[in-house]
Structure formats: C-alpha cells, structure tokens
Amino acid sequence: MEQGIIKLKREPKIISSYSVVGNKEHSGPLGELFDEYCQDDKFGKDSWEKSESEMQRRALCGAIKKSGLIDTELDVLLAGDLLNQCVGSNYSITNFDIPYLGLYGACSTCAEGLAIGACLYSGGIINSCGVMTSSHYCSSERQFRFPLEYGGQRTPTAQWTATGAGAFILGDEGRIKISEALFGKAIDKGISDVNNMGAAMAPAAIDTIKRYFLQSNHSPEDFDLIITGDLGYEGSEILKDLLLGYGVDIRKNHTDCGLMLFDRERQDVHAGASGCGCSAVVMSADIIPNLEKGVLKDVLFIGTGALMSPMSLYQGGTIPAVAHLVRLRSE
C-alpha cells in the first residue's frame, strides 16, 4: 500500500540498549533505572557540546558491550541529535569503526533511527546496526534559547530539554522485535510558540497514529502501551482530545516519555521533558526492560519531533513537526 504501514518481513531484534543521563534526570522518577549518570552533566569535558558527544560515546560503548558484539560487526550506525550539523553524533562516532548515517528528526530521532534500521534489516541490506541519539539541556539551551545564566521565566506549557543519550543495537538475537514501522509526514499547523512545543508536535502525532489505525486492523486496546515521545503534558492532552474526535480513543493506554522522565511538580519542569535524549533514555531504561521481562508484550512507540529553527522563527516562520511510529513486540 502506498504510504502505508511497513510490515517487516524479516524482523530485527533489539539485542541491547544503554542509557546515560545527567543529574536532574537521575534524580527523577526513573533515576535508578539508567545505566550511567554524571553528577555535574559535564562528563569530564570543557564545553557542553563536547559533553553531549561524550555522553553518546559512553552510551554506544555500553550498548555494544552489552550486546556481546564488537563495533566492526555492526553494518551501520544511525545517529543524530539536536545540535547544528549534528555535532553531538559526528564527534562521538569518530571513536568507533562503524559506517555512519547522520539523522535529523529532532525529538523523533530515536524512533526514526529504529524505523530506518529495521527497514534496512528487513530488506536484507544489513544484518545489524546501531541506533543512537542524545540531547543535552545546556547545549540545547544555548543554541535554541538563551545563555544558561540568562534570567528569564518559562511559561506553563514550556518543556525542559533532557540531558541524556540512548543507544540501541539491532540484530538477529533477542526477545524484542520490531515488527512494523510507519514514517511520519512533516505537519505544520501554524504554531510558532517555542514555549509550546507540545502543541506544535501533537498534529504530527495525530496524523501518524490516525493513519496507523486506519490502515491496520488494530484498535488502541490491542496494545499494552501507546507511548509518544515527547509531547509533554500539553501535547499529550491535545493528542488524546483530538484523536477522540477521529474516533480513536487512546486515553486508557497512552503515556508520554516527556511525562515519565521528570516529576513535573517537584522538579519544576512545567509541561515535562523534551529533546532527542528523552525518548531514547526512557525507552532504553524503562520500556525495553519491561518488554524483555514480558510485562509489556506489544507497544506502539511514536517519536515526535518539532523541527524548530530559531532563524526560521525570526523570519516569521512556524514550527513543522514529524512523528514516526515503530511497533515493538516481545516473544
């Protein structure tokens, strides 16, 4: 079917995953589940961009080690982040001997990478690959908003960029398989408020989820979990509310990575977390272990990215968004 759900004939398994986070993430509700964290968010480096790269390097090292493979056994690495020219990924992967494809999908990068990797595997083009992404509060704040020490106020709909990197190894072995993928379309509903990214991303998630249920024979109840990443509180509410208007009720089993990473009240993060790293570390530290244990058996993961550029906003532009879907099942 054109533009339809990609049903993977040869289903890749998630062999391993690894998460590295900052201090604030570690003191959040999922704190103990992450593989590694850094007290001062610097990871021993002297600039925030280098810290982000180092975080990725540690995540990929960890994931490769867990998988029992070595880097030269991976056919390709799909990685990306939020920074200009994807410097977070570009500098981390020079430490490895793996062919590299750079991705930019903002916060959807984790889902985008998993979906592309799964398609390449399913087509018999590769037999294994790495998927990695990251975001760092300090490097993002500098690039997209204000200097870190600038005194400003956030509005209640603003989201907090997560400091974290997640890496995944796909291949032949493992209990969790990726069975379907659906690539999202870039959707722009005219939102230009950088303090309400959830509202900018929700329409993209709605489009992808709507298309999925229209084309598949499934209903939302068939899944243990429909997890978006990262719409935050505002975007999640919009998503559930508007999907209901299309006859798709995901209120019972929906959650959002941006709502899981932090305690919104205690940690003063307003509408929740965002950033490529958010969904990557939540998937790696919480969802994937639960799929492995069999607590979850069938999960739809929809990565949502706000493709925001400060320059375009100054030119009077709005914020396009994209949402990619992957279906994860445990055997």
Partner 1 sequence: MNEKEYSEYVQGRAKKSPILKNCAFAFLFGGLICTIGQALNDLYTYFGFEKEISGTLVSITLIFIACLLTGIGVFDNIAKIAGAGTLVPITGFANAVASQAVDTKSEGYIMGVGAKIFTIAGPVILYATLSGAIYGVIYYIITLIGG
Partner 2 sequence: MDIFLNYLWAFIVGGLLCVIAQVLIDKTKLTPARILVLYVCAGVLLTGIGVYEYIVSFAGAGATVPLTGFGYTIAKGVREAVNKDGLLGALTGGLGQTAGGIAGALCFGFLVSLVFSSKPKK
Phi, psi angle pair for 29, to nearest 5°: -60, -30
Q: Which of 283, 281, 324 is nearest to 134 (CA)?
A: 281
Residue 316 in the binding site for partner 1 (CB under 8 A) = no
Which CB, 11 or 193, lies closer to partner 1? 193
Which CB, 27 or 290, lies closer to partner 2? 27
Residue 187 in the binding site for partner 1 (CB under 8 A) = no
Which CB, 30 or 206, lies closer to partner 1? 206
Out of 137, 183, 212, 223, which residue is the one contacting partner 2 (CB under 8 A)?
137
Residue 42 site contact among partner 1, partner 2, none (CB < 5 to 8 Å, cut-off depends on kind): partner 2
Out of 33, 87, 194, 242, which residue is the one contacting partner 1 (CB under 8 A)?
242
Which CB, 24 or 329, lies closer to partner 2? 24
Q: Which of 208, 211, 181 is nearest to 118 (CA)?
A: 181
Which CB, 127 or 192, lies closer to partner 1? 192
What are 226's two structure tokens? Answer: 């429909």
Sole window of 127-135, 155-163, 256-264, 300-308 interacting with partner 1 (rule: CB under 8 A): 155-163
Sole window of 133-141, 168-176, 209-217, 256-264 interacting with partner 2 (rule: CB under 8 A): 133-141
| One-character DSSP codes across 204-268 | HHHHHHHHHHHHSS--GGGSSEEEEES-HHHHHHHHHHHHHHTT---TTTEEEHHHHSS-TTTTT
Out of 2, 9, 32, 147, which residue is the one contacting partner 2 (CB under 8 A)?
147
Beta bridge partners of 16: 169
Residue 163 in the binding site for partner 2 (CB under 8 A) = yes
Which CB, 71 or 141, lies closer to partner 2? 141
Residue 217 site contact among partner 2, partner 1, none (CB < 5 to 8 Å, cut-off depends on kind): none
Rounded to a whole number of angstroms, the minimum distance from the CB of residue 22 to partner 2 is 7
Residue 157 site contact among partner 1, partner 2, none (CB < 5 to 8 Å, cut-off depends on kind): partner 1
Q: Which of 290, 291, 278, 280 is nearest to 59 (CA)?
A: 280
Contacts of 56 (CB under 8 A, 6+ apart): 20, 79, 81, 88, 89, 92, 93, 132, 133, 134, 165, 167
Residue 152 in the binding site for partner 2 (CB under 8 A) = yes
Sole window of 34-42, 54-62, 255-263, 317-325 interacting with partner 2 (rule: CB under 8 A): 34-42
In angstroms, rounded to a whole number, what is the distance separating the alpha carbons of residues 128 and 69? 10
| One-character DSSP codes across 11-79 | PPEEEEEEEEE-HHHHTSTTGGGSSEE-TTSSTT-SSHHHHHHHHHHHHHHHHHHHHT--GGG-SEEEE
Residue 238 site contact among partner 1, partner 2, none (CB < 5 to 8 Å, cut-off depends on kind): partner 1
Cβ-count burial of 179 within 10 angstroms (0-12 exposed, 13-18 middle, 19+ buried)?
A: middle
Out of 13, 24, 58, 329, which residue is the one contacting partner 2 (CB under 8 A)?
24
- The owner of tokens 């509700």 is 29
Residue 238 in the binding site for partner 1 (CB under 8 A) = yes
| One-character DSSP codes across 179-214 | EEEEPPPPB--S---TT-HHHHHHHHHHHHHHHHHH
Residue 148 in the binding site for partner 2 (CB under 8 A) = yes
Three-state DSSP class for 294? coil
Residues that bind partner 2 (CB under 8 A): 22-24, 40-42, 48, 137-138, 141, 147-149, 152-153, 163, 193
Residues that bind partner 1 (CB under 8 A): 46-49, 142, 146-157, 189-191, 196, 199, 203, 234, 237-238, 242
